[in-house]
A and B are shown apart, each in its own frame.
Chain A
Amino acid sequence: MIERIIIAILLALVGAAVYYAVKYRHIHRLKINLTGDRPTLLYFQSDSCSPCTTQAHYLEILERQYRDRFAVQKIDTEREPEKAARYGVFTLPTTLVIDRLGEVKYINYGLTNTFRLSQQLESVV
């Protein structure tokens, strides 16, 4: 049983390490020219992406909550595939939280709820 516990823990740690390594590398390779008076939330989605409807719903809640304290830029990856490629987007939805200086602070792969996005936005608004 001890061996199985160790295997389970190792698998979980390897999975988490791969995830965070990919994320770290992604954030630090991105060069974004999006300075402004407000932080920006880049939102990559498409019509064929099923969780994107839910993500759009979460973003509407946040826009009402934060009332223009941040800007949302929606990018349809089917209409602008070159933008998706430039930002290294490989899954949908993907959201990037960018501060006023144009630095990517957070990348979220997949559906991200209002609580997590709210915590991230609080650190940049």
Chain B
Amino acid sequence: MSEQTSVRKVDQSALKVNQAFIITLLILAFILNSWWLVAFVGLVMLLGTAVPQLALFKQIYARILRPSGLIKPDIVPDNPEPHRFAQGLGGVFVALSVGALLAQLTAVGWALAWLVVVLAALNLFLGFCAGCFVYYQLNRLHVPGFHHRPLAK
């Protein structure tokens, strides 16, 4: 309950830069037929979920893009946890994609990678975070660990 009453904020620009990197690198990986580039993206996503300070793409935004004025921050009231969960979920799908590619299940592997591209694109261009939606549904079902409700308006 106390988390809901404190002011919680998220920088939408950081999220969008993260999504843009994920989309671009996964499409590049597909074009180059490069499983290791997919693995790199998955590693960045999973590490960034476990330890936010290690989120490489967000660090690029915070240390280079924002200070240089190339991208302005867009800080809005929101819960960070659902976005972190969404990134982790995406990282799991990317990891599964890598597993499928290494197991020579090429179609399955690239389908999983493209699924992450589509979901990240939905978030980047339409503002719909599928992972956040899952998080809040789990919250409604009172699943342990999913404590945060959508912020009151």
Contact = CB atoms under 8 A, between A and B. Distances in A.
Interface of A: 1, 4-5, 7-8, 11, 15, 45, 47-58, 91, 93, 109-113
29 contacts: A1-B33, A4-B33, A7-B30, A8-B27, A8-B30, A11-B114, A47-B150, A47-B153, A48-B136, A48-B140, A48-B150, A50-B79, A50-B82, A50-B136, A50-B150, A51-B127, A52-B150, A52-B153, A53-B76, A53-B78, A53-B150, A54-B76, A54-B77, A54-B78, A54-B127, A56-B153, A57-B77, A91-B126, A110-B127
- Where chain B touches its partner, the secondary structure class is helix
B121 A111 contact: no
A7 B31 CA distance: 9
Contact of B78 (A45, A48, A50, A112): A50
B59 interface: no
Contacts, number: 72
A95 B125 CA distance: 15
Given A91-B126, A113-B12, 13 more contacts: A1-B33, A7-B30, A11-B114, A45-B153, A47-B152, A50-B82, A51-B78, A51-B129, A54-B77, A57-B77, A91-B128, A109-B128, A110-B128
Contacts of A110: 122, 125-128
A40 to B, nearest CB: 20
Contacts of A47: 150, 152-153
Contacts of A48: 136, 140, 150
B150 A15 contact: no
B1 interface: no
B118 A15 contact: yes
Interface in B3-28: 12, 27
User: What 10 pairs between A and B have smallest CB-CB spacing?
Assistant: A111-B127, A110-B126, A110-B127, A50-B150, A53-B151, A54-B76, A110-B128, A4-B31, A56-B153, A57-B76
